[in-house]
Structure 1
Amino acid sequence: MKPIRLKISGLNSFTEEQVINFELLTEKGLFGIFGPTGSGKSTIIDAITLSMYGKIPRNSKDFINTDSLSTSVVYEFEIGVGTERRRYIVERNIKKDLKNGGYKTTLARLREITAEGEKVLAEKEREVHQKIVEIIGLTAEDFTRSVVLPQGKFSEFLKLSGRERRDMLERIFGLERYGNDLMEKVRKVKNEKALLLGMVNGELSHYEGVTEEALKEALAKLELLKEEEKNLSAEREELLKEREKLKEIWERQKELNQFLEKKRLLDEKASEIEVKRGKIEKARKALSVKPYIDSVEETEKKLLLNKKELEKHAKELEEVSAQLEKIEKDYEITFREKEEKIPLLIEKEERLKRAIQIRDEVQRLSEEREKLLTEYKNLESNIKRLEEEKEKLFLSIENLKKNIAEKEEKIVSIRISTEEKENVFKAFELEKEFERVKREREEKAHKIEEIEKLVEKQKGEHERIKVILAEKEEELQKEESSFNLLEVQKPLSSEELFNFQKELESKRLKLIEAQRNKELEEKLEKTLKEVLEEREKLVKELEKTEREYVEKGKALDALQKEIEEIVRKNMAGELAEGLEEGMPCPVCGSFHHINLAKKVDEKLIEEKKKLERDLRTEREILQEKLIMLKSQLSGFTAKEEISKAELEKAKENLRGIDLEILRKEIEEMEVKFKEEKEKLEDWAKEKEEKEKVLKRLKEEKGQLALEEARIKERLQKDLKLLEEYKLSFEGIEREYQSLLKELENWKEKLGYANFSEKVGEINQKEKLIEKLREEVESLKKNLEELNIKREKVLEDLNQLIVRKTQVVEVGKEKRSVLEKMQKELDSYSEGKDVKKYLEEVQKERAEILQRESFLKNRLEEERRKKQEIESKKVSTLENQILLTNMLKEQIEKLELSLSKEGFKTKEEALSFVISSEEMSEIEIEVKRFENEYTSLVANIERLEGFLKGRQIEEEHWNRLEERIRELEEILTGKRKEIGATEKAIHDMKENLKKVEELTKKKKELEHVIDMLEELDKLFQGNKFVDFIASKQLKYITFSASKRLKEISRGRYALEIDSENNFVMRDDFNGGVRRSVDTLSGGETFLTSLSLALALSSHIQLKGKAPLEFFFLDEGFGSLDSELLDVVMTSLERLKKDKMVVGIISHVEELKDRVPVKLIVTPPTVSGEGSKVRIEYT
């Protein structure tokens, strides 16, 4: 984790927002935070921890600034390596809970900064804490023990007990995956394997009875079943042949019996059909009469309705006349009332409106008089108040004048002369300048000593770097020569290899295409042969059908001629039957009729016509078949042409291609391609490795050259700086001696040993005089303000008295006017409420006008209604006469129609009327009966001719069918049994394989579970974690001990005892080992620092990102100058390990040892909080 930016406000001594730019602060690798005690240095660590974990390391409850209601911290940091590096911003706002005491978090938010913008990861206090622990991999306690070491926490890890230290190491180094996590994984896998074993055992239980013996028994059973099935099939075939011989006779016999039964039923129905024929005849006659009946009945209905309408109009006319007479009387009364009352009501309304105006004026004047009375009372009160205020102001003015005189006298008594003040201040300035020059002289002497040491050290470092740089240059030249040689030995290029591959792919495609064409050629030749064979069959079928069609045509022509001859003879016979002796023949005219023609039997004609129809049907079927066969032949011809064309195309594509030669060429090219590709890959891999080496050497050389240039530049700067400091020291020494002599002269002249104390005394007197003068000025201002106020009070008092006199006069005048107007109002209102009286008058006038208007409208409406009814009555009477005449004519027409159709009354005719649908149904039924009967007779004759007396007993046929059915059922059962047995045999063979596999799998699982049981026992009690943690602890201890030895110049070393607790070994005292609890402050600091640095350098945050940041806040005050120098040198070396180290101290000696400083200025008495600024050494 690397800090980027921190914003603090309202935390401890910080009030206004302060921004710390860690990117600038950490750019040199080592930085310090300096400031006096209480300035707020440690608050910076508090702010980082508070932003991330919501609490501060020192567990202070009063961490919000006393002048602030809330605190706000915003911390921006980076974490991760390479492409996995991420930047986050965590912020918290914490507010004082004034109501309940304590604090309340009002904002907690964690954001990630990405290329697309900011993304919020958590927005609740608990969620932010969990996410931070997830990202960094450290709890708040781990963080303050290993990354940020605040006051009081520095030696905590050193003194932790074994269990607590193991838990911390487990979290920091992610060892939980070797403890509970690994144990859970083992148990999870063990449970999964146990579940699989259970499943395998379950599957094996399904295959009980699956053995080789069972398989042999099943095979023997199958052979027996097949033999039985063969015998049953032979018997069934014999019976089927017998049934086929008898089948047609049985079916024709059944068909004849069905037709005979149908004929019997139709004979029974014949009398019913005759009745229906008569019903149809009567219905047709009734239908011709029905329109006349409908006309008469319709007119009679209209006459009845018209009569009722006439009676209704007469009654309505009588009612309307009576109502009209009543309304005319009411309207006359209302009209007279309107003419008499309306003028009087209008006059009264005008007088009452005037009364309302007077009443409003009286009310307004009364309100004004009341206001005057109120004003009079207020004036009396204000005059009294101002009189009292005037007396108080006179008294205050006298007291102020007395106070001013006293303070002016005191100023005169404490004043110091101007000459004395000037001399003291000159001597004081000289004294300050002397002290400054003295400090500067001492600092420059110390700095010259430091720079001389540093220059010597840098000279040695510069020589060492130059030697390493020359060695690196020689190594780089060797690698470049080797790389150039490799470039010369390059095999085929990627482009040449790609072109070769393209050529190979082209040949592969050519081979595939040729193979496809070969397969297509063989397929098309086969298809063409099949098409030709089918076409030949179709041609033969077509020729046969054409012959049959011609023969049927000839037969039809002969039959038609025969029918024509029979019909002609039949017509001659019918004509001969009608001839009478002595009457002329209509054909030849002869009167004597000899050798008369005889009629032909109708049955013969019908048979011939039926035969003609059958021939026509057969010929049409043959014609359709011809069309279909010609269409099929056309299709086969087209198919033949297409197949020939495709076959020719396939042969053309194969022309000039030898498949075997092409395959060999491809195989040779594939081998060559593989060899060349492997050569290129090996060459590229070797080149890449050499490029990496070259890049690394160039980078190392560049870093060394940069380091050499940097050291050289720093050495030159330090030499120049040393010269400048020496010249500057000579000048400051001369200035120091001169100032010392001058200061002694001033002390002797003025008689003061300490000018700063005298200046303080003068300043206090000056401040007191200034304060007294300010008070006098303030009192004079107050006196002036009181005089102005007194004048204002007197002026206001006079104005109030004048206004009081005016109010009294106006009040008298308004009272007189009010009395006069009240008398006029009483005369108009007649002692009533004016507004209500006016409303009553207006209401009465409106009601009279409304009533008159309503009756007038009613009168007009009733007159109009009466006129309408009279018109309707006349129209209805005319219609009555018209309908009566029409009815008479319609009755005459009806009687004539009834007589014509043979009905006596209209009721008789109506009894025979049926619907057209019913009539149509009866006609269809009669027609259907006739057609069905004719058809039945023909079919019975046809079947009797076919059977010619042959007959099969039903019992014999049923026995035959039953046996065939029994055999089929037995065969079906046998075949199913054979199929089931075959499937059982197949399944048994497969199951035998599965049993073998499952048995093998069972043994493997049992072996794995045994091993997992052993691992589970090993991991119980976190034994494995303890083992890894102890290894990590030994590694950290070794690293810390190495650093401690370096810092302590070989004296101290750090070890761990048998209980994994830390002990310190003192090699200057015979290697004696001491518990860390017995160490002094300085020893504890050195040991804790070494351990903390070792721990931090090995921390991998979340197991991925290295720790880039280490913060230290205590301990340097316990070290002497020599040891402090060793510690700082050790911290400076951490820059090479890419570790940023920050120290917090008030030790002045450290300031010049760190390249970048954050100076923290303490809060001021005026209320400003701590401030921060960055300085460079």
Structure 2
Amino acid sequence: MIPVSLTIEGLYSYQKKQTVDFTKLTRAGLFGIFGQVGSGKSSILEAITFALYGETDRLDSRDNRKYNMMNLKSNEMFIEFVFVTGINNNMYMATAKSRRNSKNFDDVKTIERLAYKFEKNDWIPIELNILENVIGLSYENFKRTIIIPQGKFQEFIQLGNKDRTQMLKELFNLGKFELYFKVASIEKKNDENIHTLDGKLQQLGEINPEYIEQQNNLLQIITKQSDDFSKQLGAKQKTETELEQLKLLFDKKLQLQQRKEEKVSKHKDIEKIENTLKKYEYCILNFKNIFDKKEELTNEINKSQKLLDSDKKKLTLTLNNLKDLNNKFEKVKIEYDKKETIQKEIDELSKISKIIKLEFDCSEISVRLKKGEKISAQNLQIINDIKVEQKTLTEQLKTLKTQMPDLTELYKIKEWHTQNNNLFNALLEVEKEIKIIENDKLQVQEQYNNLCNSNNLLKNFKFDSYRIENIAKTINFLTTKIEENKEKILLIENELEHLNVQSKLEQYTKSINAGEPCPLCGSLEHPKILDIQNVSISLKNSRNCKNKIEKENTEIENSINSLNNISQKLLFKQEELNKNFTKKTDAFAKIEHHKTLFKWEVSDTFEVIENKFKLAEKLKVEIEIIEKTIEKNSKEIEKETKNKEKYKETLDKLNQELTNNKSVIELLKSQIEILKVNDFLNSDIEQLKNEINNKQNFIKKTIENFNLLNKQIAESQNICNNLTGKIGANKTILVNEKEKSEQINNKINEQLKNSSYNIEEIKNILLQEIDIDKEKLNVNNFKQAVLEIENQLKPITIEINNRVYVAESHNLLKAEILNLINNIKQLNQDFGKIKNEINKLNDDLLKIKILQKEGKSLSERAEDIKILKNLFKGSGFVNFVSTVYLQNLCNNANERFYKLTKQKLSLEITEENSFQVRDFMNDGKTRNIKTLSGGQTFQAALSLALALADNVQKIISSNHNFFFLDEGFGTLDKDSLNIVFDTLKLLQKENRIVGVISHVEDMKEEIESNLQIINNEELGSLIKPSWE
């Protein structure tokens, strides 16, 4: 990830919107962000991490983060961070913004975070979690590898074994090697498969092939019986079908005859229904409409009469109410006519209240004017005093700057002296190494002397010059001596063999007695017995001589080995000595060459240069103090000048306000006509307000009553007019309706004269409410049904002819057929059962073979799984892989750390996966990493952090090497700080992008491309780039 730009507004000490252009900083490779403690340097990194992850170390969600992150002088917080990452250099943007509630200062809205990707010349919104995916790091690991906040730089070294392993596990995705539970799951599944397979084998049991053959023979017998029964069944089923058809004809004929008789019994009811329909149709046609009209007119006449009576009653009540309203209106009108006079009194009382208020304000303004004039005079005195001090400080600053030496030249001279000291130290180290090697060589020569003195054979081989060739001669001599001794041993062994024979013969001669057979030849006579003497003594002497020679050979071989060892040591020490002599020559040459590089006129020693630096530091501190005082005084003058203008503006406003108030008082007095101002000057303003309110309420109530009564009178008059018109109209309607009713009665009487029914009979017929269409349909359906029955009976009678159906014979035939079907069914069931059994036995036999083969495979797999499970148990494999990664990380870090410490120190991993240091200045012995100095600890932490960052960049497929460090360095001494400077300069040569945040001014002078953060009391933190 490489930052492109960062915009901040309203975050912590940053008030105004400011943008950091990282492209100019990253182009330099090494850049810095500097400023005093508390100026807002670390807030830049915090803005980046919050925009990317929504997290911050300084505050969490319980600390009311959204309120505390926002600057107290700002109403809006905004962060915009743009960066590129990945192989394709894709550009992304993360934003975070929030606003303060304008009505409630303490209420800050929830911080809204958004993410975008730059595609096709536009910012496309994306999900927030995509940012973490493209960066490839969690929040915690991002702080450990890319942007390291203050106090976190040495965290990786200080982490415990468990935490460091967990960190590596997250960074390098080592969770994929956590295979124990997967293997356990596979083992469980494999065991379940074995148990399942065993269960299947138990269920299948044992199978006998002879039993299968018997069941096949039984199938053939069943098949033959089934065929015989099927032939008999076919003949009987044909006969039964014919009888079943005859039975159906007889049953259908009987049903039709019964239905015909049923219809004949209902014939009279149908005729009655037809007569009723004729009467009903006649009445509907001639009387229904006229009877309905008569009823409708009767209802209308009753309704009109009721409405007429109701309106007459309402008219009487409305006239009485109108009379009462006119009486009340006359009384209210008298009060209504007085409202203008009362309103004028209200206006004058309001003006008198304003006069009293203005008189009081004039008094207050006069007091404030006196105080303001006094403060303004004091302000002028302060400004004059500060200006005098400022002039004095400016002259002092000018004097100190003329005394300040040229630091650039001093640094170059100091660097020459430092390099010169390093070259001399290197020469001393080489000379020291030569002495050590020569001492080692003397010790080897002493070993050679001791060896020669302790060995009689070598006393004649001591040399004044310890050359390898002389030692080789000695070894050749000893080798020859061994060969000679071996020949002697061979001769002694031959002699021993002869003596052993002699010893055996001696034993035989001792066992020969006169008259007894010889144990060798069996002779009874022994004329000349062998005389052997001192054989055992000779044997003993020969054996001692052989042992002595063998012992000597062993000693000689040991001496040869010792001489070879000494020869190798001398050879090795001589080679080392030659190398160091070459180094010494090179060191002298470098020193002479370095002397030619001293091109300055001064010939000050290193100590003098150091003193000049101390003087420069002292002058620098004094200059900074004076500059800060001048800056502070300038701000104070600016502040007091603003106060002066503010005081003047305030006094002018007060004078103007006093004049305006007096003019308004005179104007208001001139506008009062009815009341007398002096009568109210001692009155309380609240009393005047109450009196005004009472008069206003009186006017308001009077107007409301007047308007209300006026409205009510108009409404009542309208109601009376409407009711009068409505009553007249209803009377006319009622007369018309009665005339129509009389006409309808005459028409009914005329029609009754021509009818055979009287009026009551007609009403009863109409009350029946018969559905004419439905009843006619029922009659027609009845007649049609009778005709259909007769038509169906004719063909059935012809088809039956003279045949007779006997149910007993039919039932007997059915029983025989059913018996045959059951027998065939039983045979088929037996056939299917046996056939299924045979098929099952054959299938089971095949399954058993397959299952046995699978069982063997599963058992072999179970053994393999057991081995894997033991390997992965207790995260053992993950810890092993973690150790490998840590070792590789340590190796990568050592490539830099070993060079940074000038081949004096290297990092190692202990068996507990902790860090230790191998010190090559102390015979390569190891010691705890906590024993390193401040500068060395920085080098170690930086080397590990860079190695870690390199590995992370490879994992996330990034071609960018970016690293940001927020470390104060204020606790480091001058030597440690120099180590940090040298280290950072080396990083700049490695094509890396490294950012440093610090408050140490010396670092600012070393890093040209930088940002200066200044915390202004009025404007907050301001960012000043070095190139502006």
With the shorter chain as reference, the TM-score category is 0.5 to 0.7
Partner in structure 1 of residue 175 of structure 2: 176
1:205 aligns with 2:211: no
After superposition, the Cα gap between the structure-2 partners of 1:1011 and 1:101, relative to the gap in structure 1 and judged at 3 Å, is farther
Q: Which runs of no fewer than 5 residues in structure 2 stay unpaired? A: 420-596, 602-624, 680-708, 759-777
SS of match in other structure, 1:75: strand
Distance in 1 separating the partners of 2:637 and 2:28: 51
Partner in structure 2 of residue 681 of structure 1: none
Deviations 1:964-999 (A, max 9, x none): 987776566556645554554344333322211111
Paired residue for 2:82, among 76, 90, 108? 76
- TM-score normalised by structure 2 residue count: 0.56
Partner in structure 2 of residue 1027 of structure 1: 880
Distance in 2 separating the partners of 1:762 and 1:927: 134
Q: Offset of 1:167 from its aligned partner?
A: 1.7
After superposition, the Cα gap between the structure-2 partners of 1:931 and 1:365, relative to the gap in structure 1 and judged at 3 Å, is closer
SS of match in other structure, 1:206: helix
Paired residue for 1:998, among 823, 828, 851? 851
After superposition, the Cα gap between the structure-2 partners of 1:121 and 1:834, relative to the gap in structure 1 and judged at 3 Å, is closer
Amino acid at match of 1:153: K
Partner in structure 1 of residue 533 of structure 2: none
Partner in structure 2 of residue 44 of structure 1: 44
After superposition, the Cα gap between the structure-2 partners of 1:1031 and 1:95, relative to the gap in structure 1 and judged at 3 Å, is farther
Q: Offset of 1:216 from its aligned partner?
A: 2.7
Paired residue for 2:750, among 868, 872, 875? 875
More helix by share: 1
Partner in structure 2 of residue 799 of structure 1: 670
2:100 and 2:109 in contact (8 A); partners too? yes
Paired residue for 1:372, among 344, 356, 359? 344
Q: 1:646-725 to 2 correspondence within 5 Å?
A: none
Q: Offset of 1:220 from its aligned partner?
A: 3.2
Amino acid at match of 1:1109: F
Partner in structure 2 of residue 1038 of structure 1: 891
Distance in 2 separating the partners of 1:256 and 1:351: 105
Q: Offset of 1:189 from its aligned partner?
A: 1.6
After superposition, the Cα gap between the structure-2 partners of 1:997 and 1:1146, relative to the gap in structure 1 and judged at 3 Å, is same
2:7 and 2:80 in contact (8 A); partners too? yes
Distance in 2 separating the partners of 1:198 and 1:765: 91
After superposition, the Cα gap between the structure-2 partners of 1:931 and 1:768, relative to the gap in structure 1 and judged at 3 Å, is closer
2:149 and 2:967 in contact (8 A); partners too? yes
Q: Which moved more, 1:927-936 or 1:1107-1116?
A: 927-936
SS of match in other structure, 2:204: coil
Amino acid at match of 1:75: F
Amino acid at match of 2:203: H
Amino acid at match of 2:927: R
Q: Which moved more, 1:33-42 or 1:160-169?
A: 33-42
Amino acid at match of 1:2: I
SS of match in other structure, 1:153: coil
Paired residue for 1:1079, among 905, 918, 932? 932
After superposition, the Cα gap between the structure-2 partners of 1:361 and 1:115, relative to the gap in structure 1 and judged at 3 Å, is same
Q: 1:365-404 to 2 correspondence within 5 Å?
A: 365-378=337-350
After superposition, the Cα gap between the structure-2 partners of 1:1168 and 1:197, relative to the gap in structure 1 and judged at 3 Å, is same
Distance in 2 separating the partners of 1:1027 and 1:299: 110
Q: Offset of 1:430 from its aligned partner?
A: 8.8
Q: Offset of 1:13 from its aligned partner?
A: 2.8
Distance in 1 separating the partners of 2:322 and 2:107: 80
Q: Offset of 1:382 from its aligned partner?
A: 5.7
Distance in 1 separating the partners of 2:1027 and 2:382: 51
User: Between the two proteins, what is the percent identity of the paired residues?
Assistant: 23
Amino acid at match of 1:1163: N
1:13 aligns with 2:13: yes
1:25 and 1:1174 in contact (8 A); partners too? no
1:93 and 1:107 in contact (8 A); partners too? yes
2:1012 and 2:1026 in contact (8 A); partners too? no
After superposition, the Cα gap between the structure-2 partners of 1:1076 and 1:854, relative to the gap in structure 1 and judged at 3 Å, is same
1:390 and 1:793 in contact (8 A); partners too? no
Paired residue for 1:1061, among 914, 918, 926? 914
Distance in 2 separating the partners of 1:1123 and 1:38: 26
After superposition, the Cα gap between the structure-2 partners of 1:963 and 1:1115, relative to the gap in structure 1 and judged at 3 Å, is same
Distance in 2 separating the partners of 1:431 and 1:1021: 73
After superposition, the Cα gap between the structure-2 partners of 1:76 and 1:217, relative to the gap in structure 1 and judged at 3 Å, is same
Q: Offset of 1:1109 from its aligned partner?
A: 2.2
Deviations 1:597-626 (A, max 9, x none): xxxxxxxxxxxxxxxxxxxxxxxxxxxxxx
Distance in 2 separating the partners of 1:1069 and 1:442: 37
After superposition, the Cα gap between the structure-2 partners of 1:1145 and 1:804, relative to the gap in structure 1 and judged at 3 Å, is same
Q: 1:410-449 to 2 correspondence within 5 Å?
A: 442-443=407-408
After superposition, the Cα gap between the structure-2 partners of 1:1071 and 1:994, relative to the gap in structure 1 and judged at 3 Å, is same
- TM-score normalised by structure 1 residue count: 0.50
SS of match in other structure, 2:111: strand
SS of match in other structure, 1:67: coil
Amino acid at match of 2:915: F
After superposition, the Cα gap between the structure-2 partners of 1:203 and 1:792, relative to the gap in structure 1 and judged at 3 Å, is same
Distance in 1 separating the partners of 2:325 and 2:843: 123
Deviations 1:466-488 (A, max 9, x none): xxxxxxxxxxxxxxxxxxxxxxx
Distance in 2 separating the partners of 1:161 and 1:30: 31
Paired residue for 2:979, among 1123, 1148, 1166? 1123
After superposition, the Cα gap between the structure-2 partners of 1:371 and 1:1012, relative to the gap in structure 1 and judged at 3 Å, is same
2:80 and 2:95 in contact (8 A); partners too? yes
Paired residue for 1:1144, among 997, 1003, 1016? 997
Q: Offset of 1:1024 from its aligned partner?
A: 1.7
Distance in 1 separating the partners of 2:229 and 2:641: 148
2:938 and 2:980 in contact (8 A); partners too? no
Distance in 1 separating the partners of 2:727 and 2:844: 113
SS of match in other structure, 2:1027: strand
Amino acid at match of 2:857: E
Q: 1:496-515 to 2 correspondence within 5 Å?
A: none
Partner in structure 1 of residue 56 of structure 2: 56
Q: 1:558-637 to 2 correspondence within 5 Å?
A: none
Deviations 1:616-637 (A, max 9, x none): xxxxxxxxxxxxxxxxxxxxxx
1:1128 and 1:1153 in contact (8 A); partners too? no
Distance in 2 separating the partners of 1:992 and 1:875: 109
Amino acid at match of 1:151: Q
Paired residue for 1:1047, among 900, 904, 910? 900
SS of match in other structure, 1:1059: coil
SS of match in other structure, 2:1015: coil
Distance in 2 separating the partners of 1:390 and 1:1075: 82
After superposition, the Cα gap between the structure-2 partners of 1:120 and 1:216, relative to the gap in structure 1 and judged at 3 Å, is farther
RMSD between aligned alpha carbons?
Answer: 6.8
SS of match in other structure, 1:1171: strand
1:192 aligns with 2:197: no
Distance in 1 separating the partners of 2:651 and 2:811: 150
After superposition, the Cα gap between the structure-2 partners of 1:1115 and 1:380, relative to the gap in structure 1 and judged at 3 Å, is closer
1:1082 and 1:1115 in contact (8 A); partners too? no
Q: Offset of 1:1161 from its aligned partner?
A: 2.9
Partner in structure 2 of residue 144 of structure 1: 143
Amino acid at match of 1:1053: S
SS of match in other structure, 1:1000: helix
Distance in 2 separating the partners of 1:256 and 1:94: 95
Distance in 1 separating the partners of 2:277 and 2:979: 145
Q: Offset of 1:184 from its aligned partner?
A: 1.9
After superposition, the Cα gap between the structure-2 partners of 1:29 and 1:999, relative to the gap in structure 1 and judged at 3 Å, is farther
After superposition, the Cα gap between the structure-2 partners of 1:70 and 1:158, relative to the gap in structure 1 and judged at 3 Å, is farther
Q: Offset of 1:1049 from its aligned partner?
A: 1.2
Q: Offset of 1:793 from its aligned partner?
A: 5.5
Partner in structure 1 of residue 217 of structure 2: 223
Q: Offset of 1:777 from its aligned partner?
A: 6.0
Q: Offset of 1:367 from its aligned partner?
A: 0.9
